[in-house]
A and B are shown apart, each in its own frame.
Chain A
Amino acid sequence: MAETDFLSGGLADPVMAGQSAFRAIMQAMAEPGTVHAVSDCPTPPGGLSRTMAAVATTLCDADTPIWLDPSLAGNSQVVKWLAFHTGAPVTAESGDAMFGFVSDTASMPTLDRFAQGTDAYPDRSTTLVLAVDGFDAGQLLSLAGPGIESTRRFAFAPMPETFIDQWSGNRARFPRGVDLILAGPAAVACLPRSTRITSGED
């Protein structure tokens, strides 16, 4: 039944699991750089991480066009799985996407290629969901801004190329700009556009 694998792996209890994942994402967004467990994840086809799948089933629906990076877009089982379990239409234009899913984080397109919103409607920007291996390795970052009392040390890996420079560009566009959800193994951390990031090793 490999042909219908994309139908499997949904959540046994979509309402409760969705609410619990939503709570984790909301808390992670409210306190940038803190790591929150997402325990009840769906089981998508290989190529899409379970945590990314949890974010997708929690936040995406028929009203949210999604963009997939080339390795996800080229995986027909992943595309079908997302279509069946979220109903979200896939767009090839990164600038039209409400959500962008990136499995190959190190070589992703630059942040300014995605929808940035407008000054009147800053919410019309892309929320990017990046696959990461974890939060205990990689370049040390220092975070500041809303949701952080003074500064917070944070790391994730892999990191997009020239990330710190790209992020200061994203900050400069405020209130426009993208927000990031970093999807690690059974956990998420977030970097909203309001967060200032500097290298933590200076």
Chain B
Amino acid sequence: MAMMRYAEALNQALREEMQRDSNVFLFGEDIGRYGGVFKVTRGLMDEFGESRVRDTPISEQTLAAMAVTASMTGTRPVLEIMYADFMPLVLDALINQASIYEYLWQNVTMPFVLRTQGGGGAGAGAQHSKSLDSLVAHIPGIKVVAPVTPADAKGLLKSAIRDSQPVVFLEHKLLYNLRDEVPEDPDFTIPFGTAKTVREGSDVSIFATSRMVLESQKAAELLAAEGIFAEVIDLRSLRPLDIDAITASIARTHHAVVVNEGWRFCGYAAELSATIMDYAFDDLDAPVMRVTLPDMPIPYSEPLELAVLPNATRIADAARAALK
């Protein structure tokens, strides 16, 4: 184990996988010489050269098509899209190419990873703060993961690079400086579709993704002071989803709160809520509560931004409402 930041854990995962497999290469805007805007790729161009760590022009649509076609030729590209807000530009490659070619043609695999980061709370404004998880998790054939801890970031990124299918890897801009223990085993990977219980509780289950896991843990602290014991589950993998972990927790607590930083209407939280209804309806003692961003742009002004982002207070309120 070594203490390191989330960004460093990602950097280590990329380095280890590039060392392990010469087919792995990175490309994206400002990831080479500059080391990436969040410094995830720092030092990798020096170590692996300009052909395996490529700076590209600003054209996300082209980059995504490149990832699809390069992966079809046998390489394992890792593409960085600087902000998740630009995901709409890559959706055609995901929806009409990456998710379909394996179905249309024999012997085609597309082992590429699309890394991006989203989320609010950094004063980055309406075009650089969004969480568009549901846009990508909506697509059959695309795996979507969203690690919260440095260890999960490393283990899931290594799994993503080794996976034979397209993976969208969702980071959060407020997590890059989070420091924690990270395993150093070069074969440390975390399988997709496994949620992690980060706090056990008996009264209400809080299912969260990405940075909202941290807010949910804070909410659980607030609730514990009132004698309400919340179980917090980090889903880690948005698709495939760990349905067994969800149903097992609800079978114990009978109350569910789902938390996602994206919009509410047709959002990822809505999908979680419907899935709970599908698999755990008879264990529910109250309607599933949703904590999300309101259906509106994220303001640039700090007080206004904080006013709309889901947080520990709102999550605790939702848990109390479920238990009333």
Q: Do A and B come from one complex?
A: no
B residues lining the A interface (CB < 8 Å): none
A residues lining the B interface (CB < 8 Å): none
